[in-house]
Amino acid sequence: MITQTELLTKKGVHIQRMFGSIARVYDLLNTILSFNFDKSWRKFAVKVSNVTPDAQVLDVCTGTGDLAIAYSKVLNDSGKVIGSDFCHEMVRLADLKLKKRNLSDKIKVIEADTLHLPFQDNSFQVSAVAFGIRNVSDLRAGITEMMRITAPGGRVVILEFSQPTNPVFKAIYYFYFKKILPSIGKLISRSEYNAYSYLPSSVLNFPDRYGLRAQMESSGLEDVKIYLRTLGIVTIHVGTKPCK
């Protein structure tokens, strides 16, 4: 059994096993635990990416491919999305989802580590991640790798859980996030790794919106914009890769 302390070290093999254990119910729990807001969050992240219809987009830590699918909806026949994830079970389910929705021509999913992406420099107009960069063992290295494969003038987009600032809402939300959400997640997922207790712990140990912006800027991204959604439950950070 992997403990919460071990999971919070973000060691790759522990994260892989944890996500593999919840892959079969991942989509269902995303919908239930976010009250179905997760779809609108991804849609908004795509919108603020300012992606062109013919863009090449990389979605790292793609999970079952939902952000990749959201991007594909704004692309034409020349556009392409690649989703990458280092969890085999997630990639397998993403591939099955794409085939079922007849999206395999527009979206390709591969098994790859965000810290070691198998792409040449400057290959994509947008590199994006939804709720995944928090689980990478080295945050700055993950952002730097996303920037490396992004073309000059392109954007790095990070959709991630954050911490609300309104005191009343924050108290209500934290009660749900730390007490109710883990119980529901454990009941439905039956994960031996207690993945949904890891979720709030990992969010609370992750940099706040300004800390994440600082990390992106220190990695070399410019003009990093922050967008808050649903009273600050999540944020979307969009940074631009310098042209020089």
Q: What is the pLDDT of residues 32-50, one digit of tens each?
A: 989 999 999 999 999 999 9
CATH of domain 4-240: 3.40.50.150
**Alpha carbon 151 to chain centroid, angstroms:** 20
* Each residue's pLDDT tens digit, 182-226: 999 989 888 777 788 888 999 999 999 999 999 999 999 999 999
Q: Where are the domains of the chain?
A: 4-240
Residue 179 has pLDDT above 60, yes or no: yes
Q: What would the mean pLDDT of 83-108 be, rounded to a whole number?
A: 96
State pTM to two decimals: 0.95
Phi and psi of 113, rounded to 5°? -85, 130
Q: What pLDDT is stored for residue 10 in this prediction? A: 66
